Structure 1
Amino acid sequence: MADLLVSLYTDRLSDLEKQTRHADVLIRPVLPPEMQLVVDWVRDNFSTNWASEVSVAITRQPSACLIAIDDGNLVGFACYDTTARGFFGPTGVHPDSRGKGVGIALFSASLQAMKSMGYAYAIIGDAGPVDFYVNAVGAMTIPAEGKGIYQGMLRAKKT
């Protein structure tokens, strides 16, 4: 998968923010007392590797992990500045909450947070849904050989 580059000064960010208005969820940073709950939820629903990145994001000041809460339940998360500064991700939405605008709301809030911290661009490393990011904010593929920063990374074995 490719690394993508997103301008944080594109007009498409405000368009993206408008799309999030129909998402009936609360988006906010993770609080320190919630860390283990969120990390365990990410591990159970996604992967051990992502849970590790979430741990790093939560310990940043301010927290670089946003969560989506629906009726008191955790339904999604998005991180930035985890594996590398300026990187967006990982991000995920529980299967029961997909298609409701939760992912777009998390993505938009994360990019806005990065912009407010002074970033001009965000990198989406090893992006999964490339077409989504291209269509949502005009993300561009970064021309580079290999797998980038994740090349040779240890991964948890599935049992």
Structure 2
Amino acid sequence: MPDMLVRLYALPEGRASRLGPDVAIRRALAAERRIVVPWIEERFGTLWAGEAEAAFSSTPTRIHVALCKGELAGFACHDVTALGFFGPTGVDQALRGRGIGEALLLESLSAMRAAGYAYAIIGGVGPAEFYARAVGAVEIPDSTPGIYADMLPPEESGS
């Protein structure tokens, strides 16, 4: 899976307001770490949970959460595996297709822009079409396997 590049100075504005009153996007608080990380591990695995742990280790945190009717619905991290990288990010399967992922993406990338970045890298992209449409991301040539090439495999449960 290739990496993609995003021009942070050209981000679209105002899409989070389309979510409706039941959904809120905000930066996670350090005190929420023990709620958010297990939620991520249960839905997305140990590797993404590990990256979320790293996102909680800075002040301010480098993880945004989506809440739907007060319940955790999704998350987005930045600056965890490498500085200038967006991800991982995920939305609960039952809530996909409502614009939550796009709102999390924009909120996290906006935080990176506010921190002084002009560009962000989305590492090991799955849905390239989504990122191209949502934020104008373009594929970085010869970026596969990228920074994740020598990563340890996730542990098997019960071992």
- Do Structure 1 and Structure 2 share a fold, with TM-score over 0.5? yes
Per the alignment, in what secondary structure is the counterpart of residue 68 of structure 1? strand
In the alignment, the residues of structure 1 paired with residue 57 and residue 109 of structure 2 have an alpha-carbon distance, to the nearest angstrom, of: 19
Matched, 1:18 2:14: yes
In the alignment, the residues of structure 1 paired with residue 150 and residue 34 of structure 2 have an alpha-carbon distance, to the nearest angstrom, of: 28
Q: Match of 2:114, as an amino acid?
A: S
Matched, 1:104 2:102: yes
Question: In the alignment, what sits opposite 2:9?
Answer: 9
Structure 2: runs of 5 or more not aligned? none
Matched, 1:84 2:112: no
Runs of 4+ in 1 over 3 A off after TM superposition: none
Query: Quick one: which of 124, 133, 137 aligns to 1:139?
Result: 137
Query: TM-score w.r.t. structure 2 length?
Result: 0.93
Per the alignment, in what secondary structure is the counterpart of residue 60 of structure 1? coil
In the alignment, the residues of structure 2 paired with residue 103 and residue 22 of structure 1 have an alpha-carbon distance, to the nearest angstrom, of: 12
Question: In the alignment, what sits opposite 1:52?
Answer: 50
In the alignment, the residues of structure 1 paired with residue 39 and residue 94 of structure 2 have an alpha-carbon distance, to the nearest angstrom, of: 14
RMSD of aligned alpha carbons? 1.2
Q: Match of 1:106, as an amino acid?
A: L
Query: TM-score w.r.t. structure 1 length?
Result: 0.93
Shift in Å, 1:142: 0.8
Per the alignment, in what secondary structure is the counterpart of residue 18 of structure 1? coil
Shift in Å, 1:157: 4.0
Aligned residues: 155
Identity among equivalent positions (%) equals 48
Question: In the alignment, what sits opposite 1:73?
Answer: 71
